[in-house]
Structure 1
Amino acid sequence: MTTSQLHIALLAFPFGSHAAPLLTLVQKITPFLPSNTIFSFFNTSNSNTSIFSKTPNQENIKIYNIWDGVKQGNETPIGREAIELFIHSTPTNFETSMREAEEETGVKFSCIISDAFLWFSSEFANKMNVPWIAFWTAGSCSLSIHLYTDLIRSNDETLLNIPGFSSTLKMSDMPPEVIAESLKGPMPSMLHNMALNLHKANALVLNSFEELDPIINKDLKSKLQKVLNIGPLVISSSSSNKDANSDESGCIEWLDNQKERSVVYLSFGTVTTLPPSEIIAIAQALEDKKIPFIWSLRDNGVKTLPKGFFERSKEYGKIISWAPQLEILAHRSVGVFVTHCGWNSILEGISYGVPMICRPFFGDQKMNSRMVESVWQIGLQIEGGNFTKSGTIIALGTFFDEGKGKVLRKNVEGLKEKALEAVKLDNGSSIENFKVLVELIKCHKPT
């Protein structure tokens, strides 16, 4: 078993938008490491199939399918049941495949990079005497909330003052795992253990930029060994993300014929699904105001639309099952982004200077939504937390007047400039942090 070359273990959390950013991180790191570096990517079969089918020819990455917790012969579960089965199968499923990878390659691991959720990576790294680098795929705001889980749970007030936050937060903004009745459930337990063990990581890597949350980042740095914001990855990796055939639905050509900042872009991610009543409310609002729109809506959602809406709205809108989101947000015609507030979507909105209307569902989305409206002031939350016809009309109207809409747009343009500065090749904060990350990975050999 040799230690003469770098062998990096990559441990993915296979649900939501977690595994794909880890792969993006690998692609970003690869050119700065020796050409014979081995990456072993540990993930469930379903998740591996999903992310690697979109990014073929990863010759330097060896893919390992770990057990997802589903017993042979059983039907593949979905949603919460699938997540809980996977969590119950950890860490043994990772340990088994990692031993296999070392035996197959003949090279000991020199570093572990894992999704921050997978807190037990600290124990693996300690046994191997190698660095553990934790990758938090969301923002520093939501990470900070998890680190203060015990403080939040000891508070019986509806309003919270959390160190590092410049404004008061609501208990209702907290991720459900933080305020769960018990921390013994699979997800609450995993995230609480993460909070208790994250100080053991040699570095915490975030897909964000320091200037977005400077006070929170300062607080994180007082608790963790190294805090490295290296994003937004969407800017630094955008050239590799674009697909020459990504506009099969003709969105960009359609946008070229619209007025500047006149179009509403609606997308709620690949996991969340709007209730039928909210789909109808949005459609009614769009039709009432005849606002130009592009709506990424899957087939089951299209079936919910008011009768005849699809045909009536064709003259001023487009409904598509999949959208080239980066290209749409980058287009001069897009004036507002209606989103579920997943972290990737938030960063993309900021990176392309598009203000947002937020309709969060779960996880960190409520926290992100609060930051968008109250802290960064680059958008607003939908009134009452759900789409109604009147609430949607009011929200959309905000972005097409010369008052508040102008302020929100100016604020998001300011953050866009800071994001671009962060990834500047000479001395951007994210570039400097990335250099630290590469050196940490490159310089260690297991003993």
Structure 2
Amino acid sequence: MEKTLEISKRRRLLLVPCPYQGHINPMLHLATYLYQNGFTITIAQTFFNSIDPNHHPYFTFVRLNDRLSNDLIVSLDVASVLLAINDNCKTSLEEVMANIVEDVVCVIHDEAMYFCEAVASGFGVRSLVVRTTSIAACISRRVVLQLHAEGCLPIIQGSMEDEVPNLHPLRFKDLPFSVHSDISKMEKIILKMYSITTSSAVIWNTIPWLEPSEFTQIKTKICNQVPIFPIGPVHKISPTSSSSSLLSEDSTCLSWLHKQPPNSVIYVSLGSIALLTNQELQEMAWGLANSNQPFLWVVRPGSIRGSDGTGFVLKEFQKKVGDGGCIVGWAPQREVLAHRAIGGFWSHCGWNSTLESLSEGVPMLCRPYSGDQRGNSRYISCVWRVGLTLEGHELNRNEVEKSVKKLMVEEEGRKMRERAMGFKRRIEDSLREGGSCSRNLKELVDFIISF
């Protein structure tokens, strides 16, 4: 009885998300699920890319002083930003912990916020790590470290198409290199992320049957140390009403979608970080127009170099597509992908977008930008065979037109859609009572309560 009373008094969880959209989303979905299972939630967030507390009235929010300069933020050098955050936020988190430590069951932090482990350990509080990428991405990052240690980076240009030994199906070009960050900085972050020693468990936004050999491999390496809770797809465990978008979503596109035939629209969104040139956008525009397929296109504000976003759209292009295309600054992606009119997704292949597309049975046209997106694209097209990849350094409108048609109306695309629907059914099964995701979530809750 005394133990039960003590647990009921100490049910606060302190969650620390990494301040990028692809990391914030899964952390807040997890927070919502844990809240629904009786825990009190405190979110410690940076000033950079901070979440609007008004969207999450049941959570308590505290700020960590990241001390990031505007020059560093606009540089898009993610590695430098993360290194600065991990250096600068430790003192702030210690102050937060000092005020609430008596109530905190454990600290749950993103793998990129590795400074949290030392703070939690210093207060004698358990910590859990959340990994928001695939297991394959984790393994390939370790390969990058190995290549760097062996002096094999940068990869010789002629070898980029070669398959990485013992890492099928990834080629050297598919390894998770960053577009904007120096390899030595990325190496430092990866080493820190994967050398966490006092964590009590790893929470992973993946599904074991989606990458079975990779799951077996990683489980063999770390399961003797700590348990792994694969709870993906995490976006399916909390209601859609709790928005975690850093950008304002334009829901008017949904009324446009209502007017389109089933499986006819290709949804185009390249994520929250990717940048394009005006030339690339022009090739995308005319490739989409010439395909004669209805499209919903997200052109994120600030995503076009030297442009204000949608200002690039020529009057002649608007005239040509008319009501056949809808262009917005940001879309409610989960609702869009679940819409009956969507027949394909032109994606940057971030892990969240990949899981969201698979969960709705939507095949993909892949155009990865950076990091783990290249590896995800390779799995989508070559392992799961639910998409095709736009290869080549430069976008070409003729290739865009051919690829959109292949995905949306040709036999190859129809077979991809059938396979994607098979993934949707398996994911739905895993979320049902007794399914793998449902079981793992319940085990995670019981594990935390055991503290």
Asked if these proteins are the same fold (TM beyond 0.5), I'd say: yes
1:110 match: secondary structure: strand
Deviates more, 1:128-137 or 1:147-156: 147-156
Shift of 1:17: 2.0
Q: Is the counterpart of residue 56 in structure 1 residue 56 in structure 2?
A: yes
Aligned position for 1:432: 439
Query: Residues 181 and 297 (structure 1 numbering): CA distance in 2 closer, same or farther, change over 3 Å?
Result: closer
Aligned position for 2:292: 290
Shift of 1:315: 2.8
2:273 match: secondary structure: coil
Tell me the C-alpha RMSD between the 2 structures: 2.9
Q: Is the counterpart of residue 215 in structure 1 residue 245 in structure 2?
A: no
C-alpha separation in 2, matches of 1:404 and 1:106: 56
Whether the 8 Å CA contact 2:94–2:119 is kept in 1: the answer is no
Aligned position for 2:16: 11
Shift of 1:241: 4.2
2:309 match: secondary structure: helix
Whether the 8 Å CA contact 1:341–1:368 is kept in 2: the answer is yes
Aligned position for 2:89: 93
C-alpha separation in 2, matches of 1:146 and 1:366: 12
Whether the 8 Å CA contact 1:356–1:378 is kept in 2: the answer is yes
Q: Is the counterpart of residue 363 in structure 1 residue 368 in structure 2?
A: no
Correspondences of 1:11-410 after superposition (within 5 Å):
11-34=16-39, 37=40, 39-48=41-50, 51-53=51-53, 55-58=55-58, 60-61=59-60, 63-70=61-68, 77-80=73-76, 84-85=80-81, 87-91=83-87, 93-94=89-90, 96-105=91-100, 107=102, 109-153=104-148, 154=150, 158=160, 159-161=162-164, 167-176=168-177, 183=184, 185=185, 187-195=186-194, 197-198=195-196, 200-224=198-222, 225-241=226-242, 250-298=252-300, 300-410=308-418
Amino acid at match of 1:252: L
Aligned position for 2:3: none
Shift of 1:97: 2.4
C-alpha separation in 1, matches of 2:365 and 2:110: 29
TM-score calculated relative to the size of structure 1: 0.86
Query: Residues 249 and 102 (structure 1 numbering): CA distance in 2 closer, same or farther, change over 3 Å?
Result: closer
Shift of 1:359: 0.9
C-alpha separation in 2, matches of 1:45 and 1:140: 29
Aligned position for 2:304: none
Query: Residues 125 and 341 (structure 1 numbering): CA distance in 2 closer, same or farther, change over 3 Å?
Result: same
Query: Residues 290 and 89 (structure 1 numbering): CA distance in 2 closer, same or farther, change over 3 Å?
Result: closer
Shift of 1:314: 1.8
1:344 match: secondary structure: helix
Whether the 8 Å CA contact 1:160–1:171 is kept in 2: the answer is yes
Whether the 8 Å CA contact 2:251–2:332 is kept in 1: the answer is no
Shift of 1:41: 2.1
C-alpha separation in 2, matches of 1:248 and 1:118: 31
TM-score calculated relative to the size of structure 2: 0.85
- Of the candidates 411, 419, 422, which is equivalent to residue 430 of structure 2? 422
Deviates more, 1:427-436 or 1:246-255: 246-255
Whether the 8 Å CA contact 2:101–2:123 is kept in 1: the answer is no
Query: Residues 198 and 372 (structure 1 numbering): CA distance in 2 closer, same or farther, change over 3 Å?
Result: farther
Q: Give per-residue Cα distances to partners, 1:47-106, cap 9 Å, x unaligned.
A: 22xx22562313x42x222122337xx767424457525523524523x22332244336
Shift of 1:298: 3.6
C-alpha separation in 1, matches of 2:249 and 2:300: 16
Where does the alignment leave 5 or more consecutive residues of structure 2 unmatched?
1-5, 302-307
Amino acid at match of 1:118: M
Shift of 1:251: 2.5
1:265 match: secondary structure: strand
Query: Residues 392 and 443 (structure 1 numbering): CA distance in 2 closer, same or farther, change over 3 Å?
Result: same
Deviates more, 1:390-399 or 1:305-314: 305-314
Query: Residues 170 and 308 (structure 1 numbering): CA distance in 2 closer, same or farther, change over 3 Å?
Result: same
Whether the 8 Å CA contact 1:152–1:160 is kept in 2: the answer is no
Query: Residues 100 and 356 (structure 1 numbering): CA distance in 2 closer, same or farther, change over 3 Å?
Result: same
Amino acid at match of 2:218: L
C-alpha separation in 1, matches of 2:240 and 2:391: 37
Aligned pair count reads 425
Shift of 1:430: 1.1
Q: Give per-residue Cα distances to partners, 1:279-327, cap 9 Å, x unaligned.
A: 1112112222322111112453322234421233123111122222222
Whether the 8 Å CA contact 2:201–2:227 is kept in 1: the answer is yes
2:323 match: secondary structure: coil
C-alpha separation in 2, matches of 1:46 and 1:260: 40
